[in-house]
Amino acid sequence: MINVTKTFFPPIEEYTLQLERIWRNQWLTNRGELLQELEDKLKDKLEVSNITVMNNGTIPIQIALQVLGQQGEIITTPFSYVATTAAILWEHCTPVFVDIHPDYLTIDETKIEQAITSKTTAILATHVFGNPCAIEAIEAIAVKHQLKVIYDAAHAFGVTYNDKSIFEYGDVSTCSFHATKLFHTGEGGALFCNDETLRHQLFYSHNFGHNGPLEFHGLGINGKISELQAAMGLSVLPHMDEIVASRKKVVDLYSSQLDFTKLTALQIRANTTWNYSYYPVVFETETQLLGVQKVLNDNDIFPRRYFYPSLNTIPYVNGENMPVSESIASRVMCLPLYEGLGEEDVLRIIQIINKNSCL
């Protein structure tokens, strides 16, 4: 069976060595030695000035919205994982959707300003499949209208834009370290913020608001990650170069061998060093997609319709029509992509798609 992704498991002896440190320390959570080491190593690897590792990729978004959203209107994309919209609603804010660019699949920066009202407090944009948003344009709009910018960079581990980490942009950036992601801690995520005052507020917010054991800075939630998860991260991190290299080989095969007369590939924004996190293809019609998906499934190959459906259409959101997002969401499918996926299997996937995408 070939799934859309496969979790990278480091050699068990490497993980065991990290677990032995936990047993020696007798410290399981509350920012222990392994977590602090992981944060330091991630700062070096990503070339970022700061990082707060948390227990998943959604909590950092919620914390950022709690602090910056102020229960106002949040301009956001309908083409993202449901957590992006759910976090807005969970923090008692109102999502205001703006349609997406048909090639980059990120929020269409040219349509943002017309969605701004007196209630708008922030822009929450997703770097889709690790593809950066139009960062300069969004920053200019935010400055002009005095808005905060939060980037959902769940897919963007290791991505750089203009030779700088993608996490260095916006007031806040977040990432997911879920088991399905490029780098993972089993479950986990991270928050990045370059403003010292804001970063302090976001940091204590992920630890119940604590200022020492008996005092509190303000409202907080439990966003802490355990030493067990940090141990997994420390075991996975040394393998990142081989993980990315393996995935690049798969991407290069798809890009060179797929028949793009009936498919469209993701266009990566200029000045981007991409991370090979996903390989989406957009079919001409949903019927075409479903036909190819069925044949792949019949051959024990399981791609994923990702992202589907367009978030403006989910039941608990009263979203306006987003024609580009709705169209793309109905026709996009992510192909299998993970470390260790063999060339023979990739070529078989390509052959099936090329043979059936014209039916």
What are the tokens at 40? Answer: 């330091």
Cα–Cα distances (Å) from 336 to 3, 83, 94, 178, 243, in that order, read 6, 22, 35, 17, 14
Do 196 and 345 fall into the same domain? no
Do 94 and 198 fall into the same domain? yes
Query: Cα(184)–Cα(271) distance, rounded to whole angstroms?
Result: 26
Task: Tally the domains of the chain.
Answer: 2
pLDDT at residue number 359: 60
Domain extent at residue 337 = 240-356
Angle subtended by helix axes 227-236 and 12-25, to nearest 10? 140
pLDDT at residue number 53: 98
Query: Cα(219)–Cα(62) distance, rounded to whole angstroms?
Result: 13
Left, alpha or beta for 307 (phi > 0: left; psi -120 to 50: alpha)? beta
Query: Cα(167)–Cα(171) distance, rounded to whole angstroms?
Result: 10
Do 206 and 326 fall into the same domain? no
Collapse the DSSP code of 213 into the 3-class scheme (helix H, G, I; strand E, B; otherwise coil) and give the result: coil
Question: CATH number of the domain that 182 lies in?
Answer: 3.40.640.10
Q: Which of 216, 238, 260 is the last residue of a domain?
A: 238
Question: CATH number of the domain that 327 lies in?
Answer: 3.90.1150.10
Do 194 and 89 fall into the same domain? yes
What is the total residue count of the chain?
Answer: 359
Do 54 and 90 fall into the same domain? yes
Do 158 and 210 fall into the same domain? yes
Q: Which of 203, 238, 273 is the last residue of a domain?
A: 238
pLDDT at residue number 104: 98
Do 67 and 192 fall into the same domain? yes
Question: Other C-beta atoms within 10 Å of 42: how many?
Answer: 21
pLDDT in tens, 136-183: 999 999 999 999 999 999 999 999 999 999 999 999 999 999 999 999
Do 198 and 257 fall into the same domain? no
pLDDT at residue number 319: 85
Q: Which pLDDT tens digits describe the chain residue by residue (359 residues)?
A: 999 999 999 999 999 999 999 999 999 999 999 999 999 999 999 999 999 999 999 999 999 999 999 999 999 999 999 999 999 999 999 999 999 999 999 999 999 999 999 999 999 999 999 999 999 999 999 999 999 999 999 999 999 999 999 999 999 999 999 999 999 999 999 999 999 999 999 999 999 999 878 888 889 999 999 999 999 999 999 999 999 999 999 999 999 999 999 999 999 999 999 999 999 999 999 999 999 999 999 999 999 999 999 999 999 998 899 999 999 999 999 999 999 999 999 999 999 999 998 76
Query: Cα(342)–Cα(335) distance, rounded to whole angstroms?
Result: 14
Cα–Cα distances (Å) from 349 to 15, 286, 291, 340, 344, in that order, read 33, 19, 14, 15, 9
Q: Which of 181, 207, 238 is the last residue of a domain?
A: 238
Which residues have CB under 8 Å from 212's CB, separation 6+?
Answer: none
Do 222 and 274 fall into the same domain? no
Do 48 and 161 fall into the same domain? yes
Do 220 and 120 fall into the same domain? yes
Residue 185 CA, chain-centre distance (Å), reads 14
Q: In what order do the strands lie in the sheet with 160-161?
A: 164-165, 160-161, 272-273
Do 147 and 22 fall into the same domain? yes
pLDDT at residue number 357: 81
